[in-house]
Amino acid sequence: MDREFLIDLFADFGPVTIRKMFSGHGISVDGVNFALSLRAGLFFRADEVTIPDFEAEGSKPFQYSTRAKTVLVNSYWALPARLFDDSAELAQWARAALAAAQRAKVKKRPGAKKAVKKSVKAARAPAKGKTGNKAPIRKRVKRKK
C-alpha cells in the first residue's frame, strides 16, 4: 500500500499523518499512532475494548518471525478485508483504533522507563563512597610545628 492509497482509504476518517516505518508506514493523528501498513497488511491498534470486534471478524493479531521464534503483537490486529470496500465503516474502526491508542498512551506514565533504568543501574552498581565512584576523600590535617 502506498501513501496515496492510504490517504484515499482514510478520506472519510479525516486527515492522517503517514510516515515510513519498518517495512511500510505508520498512520497517526496528532502524534498518536493508531495503524500500521506493512507488507503483511493493514493493522489497527487494539485493546481489551476493541479486540472482541476483531475476533468476531476472524482477524488475527500482528505477528512476525525472528530466527528464534514468532512474536505475537496483541496490540495491533489485521483490519478485516471487507472494510476496504466500506469507507464509512472503516472510518468507525479507525476512530475505535485511535481511541485504543489514546487509552494506551494514558496508561503509560511519562518517565517510567527512565525511572526503571535508573533503579536497575543502581542495583547493578557496586557500593560507592560519598563522592561517587571514587574512594572517600580523606581530610588533610595540618600539623603544627
Q: What is the DSSP letter of 39?
A: T
> What is the model's pLDDT at position 132?
53
Q: Detail the DSSP E strand segments found in 46-138.
A: 61-65, 70-78
pTM, to two decimals: 0.71
> What is the model's pLDDT at position 34?
96
> What is the model's pLDDT at position 73?
92
Domain extents in the chain:
3-119
Please, are residues 60 and 76 in contact by the beta-carbon 8 Å criterion? Answer: no
Q: What is the pLDDT of residues 68-123, one digit of tens each?
A: 999 999 999 999 999 999 999 999 999 999 999 999 988 775 665 555 555 555 55
Domain 3-119 has CATH 1.25.40.10: no
Percentage of residues in the chain with pLDDT exceeding 70?
74
Cell numbers found for residue 64: 512476525
> How far apart are alpha carbons 119 and 122 in whole angstroms?
5
Q: Is the pLDDT of residue 42 over 60?
A: yes
